[in-house]
Amino acid sequence: MPVNITEEFVHQLMAQIDFLTKQNSTLTATIAELNQTIKELKEQLNKNSKNSSKPPSSDGLKKPAVKKNRSLRESSGKKQGAQQGHNGVHLSVISNPDHTMEHMHFDCNGCPYREKCLDKACIKETRHEIDAVVTVDVTAHNLIEVRECPLHGGVKTGSFPKNIKATVQYGKNLQAMVVAFNTVGAVSINRTHEILSSVFNIPLATGTIKNMVTRCAESLKDTYEQIRLKMITLGLIHCDETGSRVDGKTCWVHVASDQNYTYLTINQKRGQAGMDAANVLPHANGIIMHDCWSSYWKYQNVTHAICCAHLLRELNGVIENHPEQTWAVRFKKLLLDMKKVRDKALLLDKDEVSYYHRHKFDMEYDSIIKTAYGENPFPETPAKKRGRKKKSKVLNLICRLYNYKESVCLFIKNLCVPFDNNQAERDLRMVKVKTKVSGCFRNEEGAQEYLTIMSYIGSARKHGINAFTAIREALNGTPDIIFN
């Protein structure tokens, strides 16, 4: 049956085609957007401490398998365990023990000839048991008064030592142990009270423990400020930040450190406001090493160095989640080759890497970035939309590597600059342990007290002074041993 094609029918068909075309375009864009969202969510699920900036603690019980292509370590050719000629550590035989016990055969117990046999017996073998004896040493300080001095006449009264201020008080060793438990040991105040009260059998109240920690922090105020002043004058500062919970809210702990000193502060802000409050970076004029967090780039008075360990983890993420990105494998190999050449130069006591290697790495760097941009072109911005279109995480990484090339490669040009920022990460590690073990800080003042003490202890350890000795010196009024 012939169809009567009228002008109205043609217009209806054209309108329907136009509608379907627009609908198809909309659905195509929606599908593309959903596919991108699914891809990003899958990438987020695949993230762990080996391929992103997530901390190892976030891996939980599902620790990621260590793959050969992700490890920074290389085979040394040596066997596992201690090497030949290694000075082992063992318990030494004690020549003068505090107690001696003799053990005879059980048949000898109650035997009438036991003493006679003992006179003729010999010691076949000696074994030593080393144990800790927990005792409380109480010292009574008596103030002596002479009613009539035969030499000068009148009443002569002695005086207590400066540290003896109360009728009954705790000594410096016990105070140092309390502070060490609560800070270095990351033990909460309640658990410190429970452990030490049961061990020493003394009524060590939680309020007393808090006061001991506060007094220790107050005694370190001048030392803490001296550490900050030393940070400002350093040629290289390691910087990092990590989150912690204070009064149910997230605050940020900032660190500035080197191989000799540690300076920790806390602030409600992670960015420049928190860094300015620490009062180190605004006055520094050397090199600062960081993880490329955007706030660090606002300090123009310093030279920037980027932690390449962070870059390697990001590259691992690209390699695992985007196998088609060939440039990431090349760039990872480039960083490891640069590290190998730098380490060899340091081993040979050289002041710099050869011009040949610097030029070779420079050309390879530019070649890889060119390839990376070819594999990841910039997204086209629709004509009707304003502003820049959102870039993918891979493209963002490429742009960072391009824009901050000098900071990425600084470790190969200046051998004083390390390959990674492990120093700052190590100095922040105890803060994360404290947060996990104790939960959170009650208030910001308590958190700052903890960080003041940990800044001092961290600096003391770097000078070969153990934590307990350092705390005891602080309580005795001589914390400046870390500057000697």
Instruction: Report how far residue 172's alpha carbon sits from residue 39's, in angstroms, rounded to the nearest whole number.
Output: 59
Q: What is the DSSP string of 78-125?
A: PPSSSPTT-----PPPPSS-S-------GGGTT-TTHHHHHHH-----
Q: What is the pLDDT of residue 39?
A: 79
Pairing of strands 236-246, 287-290: parallel
Least confident of 20-29, 91-100, 119-128, 465-474: 91-100
Alpha-carbon torsion (277, 280, 282, 287), positive or negative: negative
Least confident of 87-101, 166-180, 251-265, 282-296: 87-101
Q: Once rounded to an integer, what is the mean pLDDT over residues 52-63?
A: 66
Identity at 146, one-letter amino acid code = V
Identity at 18, one-letter amino acid code = D
Q: Once rounded to an integer, what is the mean pLDDT over residues 283-310?
A: 96
Least Cα distance to 446 among 176, 206, 258, 175 occurs for 206
pLDDT reading at 48 higher than 80: no
Q: Which long-range contacts (CB under 8 A, 24 or more apart) does 191-194 make?
A: none
Q: What is the pLDDT of residue 385?
A: 61
pLDDT band at 65 (very low <50, low <70, confident <90, very high): low
Alpha-carbon torsion (182, 185, 188, 191), positive or negative: negative
Q: What is the DSSP string of 416-466?
A: TS-SS-HHHHHHHHHHHHHHHHH--BSSHHHHHHHHHHHHHHHHHHHTT--
Could you give the 3-state DSSP secondary structure of residue 296?
helix
Least Cα distance to 358 among 341, 371, 344 occurs for 341
**Per-residue pLDDT reduced to its tens digit, 20-34:** 998 998 999 899 888
Instruction: Report how far residue 55's alpha carbon sits from residue 51's, in angstroms, rounded to the nearest whole number.
Output: 10
Least Cα distance to 348 among 358, 340, 360 occurs for 340
Whether 437 and 329 have beta carbons less than 8 Å apart is answered as: no
Instruction: Report how far residue 286's alpha carbon sits from residue 235's, in angstroms, rounded to the nearest whole number.
Output: 5
**Per-residue pLDDT reduced to its tens digit, 212-251:** 999 999 999 999 999 999 999 999 999 999 999 999 899 9
Residue written as token pair 């609908």: 23
For the chain, give the mean pLDDT. Answer: 88
Q: What is the pLDDT of residue 382?
A: 63
pLDDT reading at 67 higher than 80: no
Query: What percentage of the chain exceeds 90 in pLDDT?
Result: 57
Instruction: Report how far residue 202's alpha carbon sits from residue 290's, in angstroms, rounded to the nearest whole number.
Output: 47
**Per-residue pLDDT reduced to its tens digit, 298-333:** 999 999 999 999 999 999 999 998 889 999 999 999
Could you give the 3-state DSSP secondary structure of residue 242?
strand
Please count the other Cβ atoms lying within 10 Å of the Cβ belonging to residue 40: 13
Chain-centre distance for alpha carbon 232: 21
pLDDT band at 156 (very low <50, low <70, confident <90, very high): confident
Enumerate the H helices of 291-421 as residue ranges. Answer: 308-321, 326-347, 355-375, 393-403, 405-408, 410-413
Alpha-carbon torsion (401, 406, 412, 416), positive or negative: negative
Q: What is the pLDDT of residue 256?
A: 98
First CA to last CA across the chain, in angstroms? Answer: 108
Whether 389 and 380 have beta carbons less than 8 Å apart is answered as: yes
pLDDT band at 59 (very low <50, low <70, confident <90, very high): low
Whether 293 and 241 have beta carbons less than 8 Å apart is answered as: yes
Tokens of 446: 């308590």
Residues 6+ apart with CB under 8 A from 342: 353, 411, 412, 415, 419
Q: Once rounded to an integer, what is the mean pLDDT over residues 44-57?
A: 71
Q: How far is CA 295 from CA 272, 290, 378, in A?
A: 5, 10, 25
More confident residue, 122 or 86: 122
Q: Once rounded to an integer, what is the mean pLDDT over residues 164-184?
A: 92
Q: What is the pLDDT of residue 389?
A: 67
Q: Once rounded to an integer, what is the mean pLDDT over residues 89-112?
A: 82
pLDDT reading at 89 higher than 80: no
Tokens of 104: 């005879």
Please count the other Cβ atoms lying within 10 Å of the Cβ belonging to residue 352: 13
pLDDT band at 122 (very low <50, low <70, confident <90, very high): confident
Q: What is the pLDDT of residue 449?
A: 96
Least confident of 105-114, 213-222, 448-457: 105-114
Instruction: Report how far residue 238's alpha carbon sits from residue 280's, in angstroms, rounded to the nearest whole number.
Output: 11
Q: What is the pLDDT of residue 201?
A: 87
**Per-residue pLDDT reduced to its tens digit, 335-384:** 999 999 999 999 999 999 999 999 999 999 999 999 999 999 887 766 55
Instruction: Report how far residue 211's alpha carbon sits from residue 217's, in angstroms, rounded to the nearest whole number.
Output: 10
Please count the other Cβ atoms lying within 10 Å of the Cβ belonging to residue 202: 12
Residue 400: exposure state from Cβ atoms within 10 A (0-12, 13-18, ≥19): middle
pLDDT reading at 464 higher than 60: yes
Query: What percentage of the chain exceeds 70 in pLDDT?
Result: 91
Instruction: Report how far residue 454's alpha carbon sits from residue 426's, in angstroms, rounded to the nearest whole number.
Output: 12
Q: Once rounded to an integer, what is the mean pLDDT over residues 419-441?
A: 92
Q: Once rounded to an integer, what is the mean pLDDT over residues 100-105?
A: 86
Q: What is the pLDDT of residue 161?
A: 87
pLDDT reading at 99 higher than 90: no
